[in-house]
Amino acid sequence: MAYKTHIGSLDAYNKGVIELRDDLRKYAFSNIFEVAGKSQPFERVAVARNLEYVAEVIRIEGESPWYAAPHDEFAIVMDGEATFNFIKLADEQVPGHDGGAAQLGAEPNGPRMGRVTARRGHQVLLPKGSAYQLTSNAPAVALVQTAVGPLTIERWADICTMAGDA
């Protein structure tokens, strides 16, 4: 038997259904492509939150500011192609906030580490001690595993299926 694998994208996705005798807000049901489709480039919109940890959806379109976090982050490209540029930070440049990505004022001084170009299904390490920039010529989507940070946007009521939507 030949199988057909279904993978959503910005242009074509089918959101599932949630049919429960319960408060649907407890399940925070959303869709990555729907969220990215309604986001501004490089907004970091939380779609999952475990206390201080989040998964953020980023619509990558054009050239982002530079970011850094005080811990490792990981990005999975869910649609399109994106390039991640990296610069090594000196110890005193590593951000001192508790967690999550912070935006740097400008491209940091420091040696260029290189770049990773990733496509759908690729997972990229955004290592602690580096700054990174995301770029894409066409809209792409990434899901970033990180902590709640100063750039995390939480708009659950806007992105989640609510009672009556299901």
Partner 1 sequence: MDVQATGITATGTDPDTGYDSFQLGDFTFRRDEYFAHIEWPKGNHIIEIDRFLRAMVRDIGWGFFYGWIFFDDVFGTTNHYGTVDVFAGSYDQHYKAQGIDHLQTFTAEVVSQAFETIARNWINEGYDPLNAPLETGSPLGSKTTERTDELVRGFRPATRMLGLEGDAPVRSDETGHSINRAFADMEFDTPDIACEPGFEGQLHAINLFDHIARADVTWNPSFTAITGASICCVTSEEHMLPVIHGNDRNEWFIQLTDEIHWNIADKNTGAPRGRIVMKSGDVCAMPADIRHQGFSPKRSMLMVMENGTPGLEKRYESGELKPYPVDFG
Q: Site residues (CB under 8 A) for partner 1?
A: 2-8, 13-23, 25-34, 47-53, 55, 71-74, 76, 78, 86, 88, 99, 111-125, 127, 130, 143, 145-147, 154, 156-157, 160
Residue 124 burial class via C-beta count within 10 angstroms: exposed 0-12, middle 13-18, buried 19 and up: buried
The encoded tokens of residue 124 equal 């990229």
The amino acid at residue 30 is S
Look at residues 86, 81, 87 and name the one whose alpha carbon lies nearest to residue 122: 81
If the CB atoms of residues 105 and 120 are measured against partner 1, the closer one turns out to be 120
Confirm if 37 and 132 have CB atoms less than 8 A apart.
Answer: no
Closest distance of CB 80 from partner 1, Å:
13
CB of 38 to partner 1, least distance (A): 13
Residue closer to partner 1 (CB basis): 48 or 94: 48
Q: What value does the CA radius of gyration of the chain take, rounded to a whole number of Å?
A: 17
Strands 152-153 and 44-50: parallel
Least Å from the CB of residue 129 to partner 1: 9
* Residue number with CB closer to partner 1 (23 or 92): 23
Q: Which is nearer to partner 1, 50 or 105 (CB)?
A: 50
